[in-house]
Amino acid sequence: MHGYEFGEPGSTPFRFTTTDTRFGDGVTADLDDVLERYGVSNPLIVTDRGVEDAGLLERVTDGIDAEPIVYYASTEPSTEDFENLPTAAVDGVVAVGGGSCLDTAKLAAVLLAHGGDPADYVGVDAVPGPIAPLIAVPTTSGTGSQATQTAVVTHDGVKRGASDEHLRPDVALVDPELTFGLPRAVTARSGFDAFVHALESLLARDYRWVEPRPITYQGANPVSRSLAWRALVLVHGSLERAVFDGDDREARRAMSLGSHLAGMAFSASGLGAVHALASTVGGMTDRPHGECLGASIRAGLTYNLPVRREEYTAVAAGLGVGSEEPEPEALIAECERLRDSIGLPGSFDEVGLERSDVDEIVENTLVQERRLATNPRTVTDELGEFLLEVELEE
Ligand SMILES: [Fe+2]
């Protein structure tokens, strides 16, 4: 990338942790070997009906000797979902699916090891020790949850996170073949999530300016920025191709790798205002995460523009968008073009929010300490005035 400091290694130490990963066409076949390595003879497979109906569950379980017990995750996992979790007969967890399956599996693996109620683990650093062996097999290219230490779960009607280093899966089997048949709308929504993960991770507050926190969302460092930049290039270059031609296997593979690299990156750096706003929008409208990101990206990026002008310009130049002399606004314009091209909503208005909602939007956003501490610009209650000016027009 021209002119943009990835953050050359300076004198301030940093740390980077990631999941043991096997990537490539057909790596799903390694599952039996992985289960043996982790001493799992009776795996609990966490999946959903869509994954099963697409024939993906069968492809994953066909190759294993053990007789799996299947548990179905709900689309929006809640702390009330786990009552019928079959804990007695199983000694490890395999997640096969998108973000909801992966996040449900993380909590299942906690409950197997520590018992109690899922609500006990909501928040930060609430898992008392190592969890049951956890293997993640993503079937979408989006969430990156196979590489992160967070499970998103609804508790008391509010979307919350359980974040703890113990929640990071032991092994991720990232097999692009599982995504070859992903429907167009899911490809668009989950792929845009990966795009925003890469972008917000790349532009996150520098690790030297983030107060030490119990979880490892610790600001962008030289390793996370390198991964985020590569993820951004891959996703930016392949998302539209994967959406418009689902049979473009090269694009599917690039999305698969890009979304995984983005997950690795943001699990270290944290995210920012676009995700904080999108969580708020999700809570208020019940729209899917990818659509909420579409509705929030202009506001989030514009809010951060005053402290990221050089970086936006450099990212736009690196992606080859804008004019020969790119302006920072070129990056925002390109994000909007991409979002519109793949058919996601483009404003708060389009997801049904109005000027009168502004206080609730600000209130629900300011409480998201997990996201805001790593946003490049400090978010204050001036956010309300900003939103009224640029987003919620009369
Ligand atoms: Fe996300």
pLDDT, tens digit, 9 for 90 and up, residues 192-243: 999 999 999 999 999 999 988 776 799 999 999 999 999 999 999 999 999 9
pLDDT confidence tier of residue 66, bands split at 50, 70 and 90? confident
pLDDT at 6: 60
pLDDT confidence tier of residue 2, bands split at 50, 70 and 90? very low
Centroid of ligand 1 to alpha carbon of 199 (angstroms): 11
pLDDT in tens, 101-148: 999 999 999 999 999 999 999 988 999 999 999 999 999 999 999 999
Centroid of ligand 1 to alpha carbon of 64 (angstroms): 31
How far lies 8's CA from each of 40, 128, 261, 267, in Å? 42, 36, 19, 20
Centroid of ligand 1 to alpha carbon of 67 (angstroms): 33
What is the domain class of 184-390 according to CATH? mainly alpha
pLDDT at 175: 98
Centroid of ligand 1 to alpha carbon of 143 (angstroms): 6
Ranges of CATH 3.40.50.1970 domains, the chain: 20-179
Rounded CA gap, 356 and 348, in Å? 12
What mean pLDDT, rounded, does the chain reach?
93
Residues with CB under 5 A from ligand 1 (ion): 193
Rounded CA gap, 363 and 124, in Å? 21
The encoded tokens of residue 295 equal: 């509705």
Ranges of CATH 1.20.1090.10 domains, the chain: 184-390
Question: Residues with Cβ < 8 Å from 384, sequence gap 6 or more?
Answer: 358, 359, 361, 362
CATH number for 20-179 (one of 3.20.20.70, 1.10.287.40, 3.30.70.20, 3.40.50.1970): it is 3.40.50.1970
pLDDT at 5: 57
pLDDT at 357: 95
* Average pLDDT for 162-191: 97
Centroid of ligand 1 to alpha carbon of 39 (angstroms): 32
